[in-house]
Amino acid sequence: MKTLIPKITLFLLLGYAVSAVGQSVPLDRFDTVSAASNYEQAIIQAREEIQVLIDGGAPGVSIAVGIDDQLVWAEGFGYADVEFKAPVSTLTKFRIGSVSKSMTSIAMALLYEQGVIDLDVPIQTYLSEFPVKEKGPVTLRLLASHRAGVRHYLPDGSDNFITKHYNNVVDALEIFEDDPLLSVPGDEYSYSSHGYELLAATLQEASGEEFLGMMRARVFSPLKLIETVADQTYGLGWVDFNGDGSWFGHTGGSVGGNTLFMVHPEQNVVVAVVCNLSGYLGANRNLRDIGELFLE
């Protein structure tokens, strides 16, 4: 679990962003948290990369960079509401999509450290109502690493745009709980958002705490993430971006949202970029290079 520690500080850094914006002065175009002068050149270059998105048609983008537990830059670009010309500020909420998986994995790590869960027992130990699968036992460890064989969204996307609201994460399992596994658990990697829904439900039942309440109490509140809330209309893991262990994080896509989330554990640098247009961060293939600008 040691490898999760530098990543957990990421959300603390973003918590500082929330507390700092009180001194921000809204401008015609940007809302800014005062930038650290020693990163002035890096910020100028990073703004150019964000501008590529705005010039290309992104309604609004927000970015925050933290280094060594300090916020060094946060800024909003474009509009949160195009019709009313409401500018993006550092308090504007964006849908972060699958970056939610990273937050869920933090909750799992905390419960494991506290001895609440065993990562390698069948999930029915905690979630007895979930059907046992013919191909083998599903565990929290396998769910967290996308190796449990649980399917992702259907090819036609029909279960990615469900309008039914579920008040409890366990109830939402009805979408896929009766489907067979794609493979023997542990044999293959297959990215699965439904797998993380099952992980969240298992954490809820194991802890005895409603999932969103658990996230607020165990993750968001301790890290001062007072502006991080559940998106009640939409539904972690970590990716080695470069394959060399330098940058970890996750991307997130949702209806009306797109996110890039990066952590450099060795130099303790964090970058978060969010946009309010689905899939639009891909319009700038150099976006991940922003992190390199802030390395020593």
In a domain, 22, yes or no: yes
Residue bearing the bigger pLDDT, 256 or 234? 256
In a domain, 226, yes or no: no
Whose tokens are 């500020």? That residue is 89
CB count, 10 Å around CB of 130? 18
In a domain, 243, yes or no: yes
Write out pLDDT tens, residues 160-210.
Answer: 777 787 889 999 999 999 999 999 999 999 999 999 999 999 999 999 999
In a domain, 165, yes or no: yes
Residue bearing the bigger pLDDT, 2 or 79? 79
CB count, 10 Å around CB of 248? 20
Do 169 and 191 have their domain in common?
yes
pLDDT at 93: 80
Which 3 state secondary structure label does DSSP give 64? strand
| Rounded CA separation 243/241 (Å) | 6
In a domain, 124, yes or no: yes
Do 125 and 181 have their domain in common?
yes
pLDDT at 163: 72
Do 201 and 282 have their domain in common?
no
Do 109 and 188 have their domain in common?
yes
Whose tokens are 């999760």? That residue is 4
Do 82 and 123 have their domain in common?
no
Amino acid code (one letter) for 36:
A
Domain boundary among 219, 247, 262: 219
Domain boundary among 219, 250, 278: 219
Where residue 256 falls among pLDDT bands split at 50, 70, 90? low
Do 63 and 156 have their domain in common?
no
pLDDT at 145: 92
Task: For residue 181, give both structure tokens.
Answer: 């596994």
CB 255 within 8 A of CB 14: no
In a domain, 230, yes or no: no
158 contact partners, CB below 8 Å, separation of at least 6: none
Where residue 239 falls among pLDDT bands split at 50, 70, 90? low
DSSP 67-116: ETTEEEEEEEEEEEETTTTEEP-TT-----GGGHHHHHHHHHHHHHHTTS
Do 77 and 187 have their domain in common?
no
Quote the distance between the C-alpha of residue 219 and its chain's center.
13
pLDDT at 183: 97
Do 186 and 261 have their domain in common?
no
| Rounded CA separation 17/147 (Å) | 35
Write out pLDDT tens, residues 60-112.
Answer: 899 989 888 788 899 999 988 887 788 888 888 887 778 888 889 999 999 99
The number of domains in the chain is: 2
Do 146 and 198 have their domain in common?
yes
Domain CATH for 159: 3.40.710.10
CB 220 within 8 A of CB 228: yes
What's the domain range around 191? 100-219
pLDDT at 7: 28
| Rounded CA separation 186/131 (Å) | 18
Q: In which region does residue 109 sit, left (phi positive, over 0), alpha (psi from -120 to 50) or beta (all else)?
A: alpha
| Rounded CA separation 72/154 (Å) | 41
Write out pLDDT tens, residues 5-63.
Answer: 222 223 333 433 332 332 333 333 344 555 556 888 899 999 999 999 888 888 889 99
